[in-house]
Amino acid sequence: MRQAQTLNEAQFRRVLHYCRSRRHPLRDTTIFMVSFYAGLRAKEIAALKLGDIVDETGAVRDQFILGVDQSKGGQRRTVYLNQRLRKALATYAKSKCLRQLDRPLFESQKGGHFSANTMCQLFLDIYKACGLKDASSHSGRRTYITRLANKGVGVRLLAALAGHSHISTTQRYIDVNSDQLSQAVELL
């Protein structure tokens, strides 16, 4: 099975620009950023509730717990949010009714949670419109893991961030390209 494409910086910017032109620009941009900056699977993004991300005062959390019903493999895990993602989530949360923290974070057109399948389709539609034929709902997750690995984050830490039980699973996510190979040999 072919692995999802990792995105370079230009592709990332192209997708963000396109998301901002869609019918639901704030929602779609934020969904993409959650995939890219938190490394969440489509199923996990679809299952998020507003209360997962913000507290009772409306402040965006630094981290949250994905419950066993929200994640793959029935494993709870902590998701850490960087400053850029927290800022995007704060902007998005301002558009939501904060009295209903049990509501879906990202509502479908019918007003409920996206299904995992519908969330995958949303990603495919966005990437196709951007000309990224090998990208999928897993591209943000693969890019997240690959970029952290390229910045020197160890595979055990990456596995914990990704929610993988085995580092061998995490290693399959890390892309290698010719630029990285050239830079590696220059370390000698």
pLDDT per 10-residue tile (average), the chain, 188 residues: 86 97 96 96 95 92 89 84 96 83 90 93 97 95 91 88 83 76 81
For the chain, the domain total comes to: 2
**124 lies in a domain?**
yes
* Whole-number pLDDT of residue 40: 95
Both 60 and 150 in one domain: the answer is no
Both 133 and 146 in one domain: the answer is no
**41 lies in a domain?**
yes
Q: Is residue 158 within 8 Å of residue 169, measured between CB atoms? A: no
Ranges of beta strands (E only) in 67-107 are: 77-80
Domain holding 167, by residue range, is: 141-185
Both 162 and 128 in one domain: the answer is no
Both 149 and 125 in one domain: the answer is no
* Whole-number pLDDT of residue 29: 97
Within 13 Å of residue 71, how many CA atoms lie on the same side as its CB? 19
**56 lies in a domain?**
yes
Both 133 and 147 in one domain: the answer is no
* Whole-number pLDDT of residue 45: 96
Both 133 and 165 in one domain: the answer is no
